[in-house]
Amino acid sequence: MAFAALICLEARRLPFGTARTPGPGLLPLGYGTLLFLLAVIFVLKTGFKGGGLGESVSAPWAGLKWKRVAYTLAGLLVYALLLDRLGYLVCTGVLLVFLFWGKGTSRRSMAIMGGWSISIVSYIAFKIVLKVQLPSGFLGI
């Protein structure tokens, strides 16, 4: 709630604008207010659950497979470092195959087809349809 209040306080420094021409302070104020309301709801829900804060609660990280988290972060880091050199299409295809395969897809063919098909469809959607400039890499596409 404190973070949300800070966002709202800082948003006051920017002009809010009008209904026809919203200013740059309107969006941060809206998000700060929404975050504050969600935090209040969360506190009320957990407060009325029963025992309050004194009860022992299981750790939120219990059961998390840390190897998968590390592999995912490493894959994203490599993706970010190689994106300009290899290009969007190649990097995204390789990353998605890596992530699908690491997710536990037992069939390699499904991981490869799924990763590359999503990469190609997203490339068509962004580069061709929406005309977004994407890193072309060594292929030039």
pLDDT 10s digits, 22-47: 889 889 999 999 999 999 998 888 87
Same domain, 77 and 121: yes
Same domain, 73 and 39: no
Residue 41 domain flag? yes
Whether 25 is covered by a domain: the verdict is yes
Q: Mean of the per-residue pLDDT values for the chain? A: 86
Domains: count for the chain: 2
Q: Is residue 93 part of a domain?
A: yes
Given a cut of 70, is residue 50 above it in pLDDT?
no
Q: Give the other-Cβ count within 10 Å of 74's Cβ.
A: 11
* Residue 81 sits in the same domain as residue 119: yes
Structure tokens at 127: 């580069």
Is there a single domain that holds both residue 14 and residue 72?
no
Same domain? 116 vs 88: yes
Q: Which range marks the domain in which residue 112 is found?
A: 66-139
Same domain? For 29 and 80 the reply is no
What distance in Å separates the CA atoms of residue 110 and residue 108, rounded to the nearest whole number?
A: 5
In 3D space, the residue among 35, 61, 126 whose CA is nearest the CA of residue 89 turns out to be 126
Q: Provide the whole-model pTM.
A: 0.58
